[in-house]
A = this chain, B = another copy of it.
Amino acid sequence: MSRTITLLESTVEQHQQKAWDILEKCLPFTGRSIRIGITGVPGAGKSTFIESLGRLVVEQGKKLAVVAIDPSSKKSKGSILGDKTRMEQLSKQEHVFIRPSATGEFLGGVASRTREAVLVLEAAGYDTIFIETVGVGQSETAVFNMVDIFLLLMVTNTGDELQGIKRGIIEMADLIAINKADGDNIEKSKQTQAEMQRAVKLFPVGESGWATAVEICSALTGSGIETVWNRILEYRAFAEGNNYFTKRRREQLKQWLHESVYFESMQYLSHSPEFKKRLKTIELQVENEEILPPHAIRNLLREFMH
């Protein structure tokens, strides 16, 4: 399983070819999981939350896999390892697989092979998949586009002006969990819950027909974690009931196709030594203001495509 994912992420053509052969053989055994996207504002305690929710899921007899998209890995390669260490307890359990997904070079740092990894994991029998992402940049949209349910982890407002999260993320969330609702924080968390419940009502209900749920929990004490999990199951039943579950997956497949046109072209071109060489020459011409980038590239492409 791990080896197939590694092959997929390889830049060697033969490795990738092998990986695609394996993957296509896996296809009939994929799709039978619930794919849960988890994002959180910095400081929301995402790792502890995943550990806590993950433990509950495993106790209920599920096979859990956790993959991560880490857009920050370009700058600080260490963060992936850090996460893995923090989820140490969970990773030691049977029926749990944790794999950080390395960030691809394209799309501003959004991992490109996460969808494929999910399929491999499903074929291996994992029925619950967490795909986690850091709450910055465009990786949430990428994760949103590959999951069945999207969970946003928050904490009660700390008064920090900079805590503000993207408006778009709230709109994407099917479920908001306010973590760290323990000790002195419970009352404030309840207030934030009420505020968020009012806030999400301002948005029109999405295509699923599901109204975004807001819960409080504490990954530390475990309180409320089961409620969060029940909400996820509730959402699944709801979306399966009105066929949105299938519809969303079908649309995601289409979108994957269109993203692939972009991503695979870039891969293709960037693996050509001739293309790279010519690009270097153009870079000099552009710097000397002899030619404009789009024009130069258009001319170059005309040679590389028919």
Is the beta-carbon distance between A269 and B261 smaller than 8 angstroms? yes
Q: Which of A163, A168, A195, A268 has the most CB of B within 10 A?
A: A268
Q: Contacts A254-B286, A306-B304 hold; do A20 and B292 have CB atoms under 8 A apart? A: yes
Minimum CB–CB distance for A9 against chain B, Å: 12
Known A137-B168, A266-B262; judge A304-B305 contact (CB<8 A): yes
Near B by CB (< 8 A), chain A positions 179-235 give: 195-196, 199, 202
A195 to chain B, nearest CB (A): 6
Interface: A170 (CB within 8 A): yes
* Interface residue stretch chosen among A50-58, A122-130, A294-302: A294-302
In contact, B161 and A167 (Cβ under 8 angstroms): no
A115 vs chain B, min Cβ distance (A): 8
Question: Number of A residues contacting the other chain (C-beta, 8 Å)?
Answer: 61
Interface secondary structure of A, over-half rule: helix
User: Given the complex of chains A and B, what is the CA–CA distance between A296 and B263 in angstroms?
Assistant: 12
Cα-based distance from A52 to B30 in the complex (angstroms): 58
Contact with B along A246-287 (1 / 0, CB 8 A): 000010011011011111111111000000000100110011
Does any Cβ of B come within 8 Å of A59's Cβ?
no
A103 to B191, CA, bound (A): 40
Decide: B257 and A286 in contact? CB cutoff 8 A. Answer: yes
Chain B: minimal CB distance from A247 (Å): 12
Q: How many copies does the complex hold?
A: 2
Chain A 29-81 interface residues, beta-carbon cutoff 8 Å to B = none
- Taken together as a complex, chains A and B put the C-alpha atoms of A302 and B262 apart, in Å, by 14
Q: Is A289 an interface residue (CB 8 A)?
A: yes
The answer to whether B269 and A196 have CB atoms under 8 Å apart is no
Assess whether B257 is in contact with A266, with CB atoms less than 8 Å apart: no
Residue among A23, A106, A264, A267 with the highest chain B CB neighbour number at 10 A:
A264
Residue A241, interface by CB 8 Å: no
Nearest neighbor of A254 in chain B, beta-carbon distance: B283
B266 close to A301 (CB less than 8 A)? no
Shortest Cβ distance from residue A181 to the other chain B in the assembled complex, whole angstroms: 18
A267: chain B residues at CB < 8 Å are 298
CA distance A119 to B295 in the complex (A): 14
Q: Which among B136, B138, B253, B305 is the interface contact of A305 at CB below 8 angstroms?
A: B305
Q: How far is the CA of A37 from the CA of B301 in the complex (A)?
A: 31
CB of A293 within 8 A of CB of B253, answer yes
Contacts of A253 in B (CB 8 A): 286-287, 293
A23 near B195 (CB under 8 angstroms)? no
Q: At the interface, yes or no: A237 with Cβ under 8 Å from chain B? A: no
Residue of B nearest to A253 (CB): B286
Given contacts A136-B168, A265-B269, could you give 16 more A-B pairs where the C-beta distance is less than 8 Å? A136-B167, A137-B168, A161-B195, A161-B199, A163-B164, A164-B167, A166-B166, A254-B283, A256-B286, A257-B296, A261-B269, A264-B297, A264-B301, A265-B301, A265-B305, A305-B306
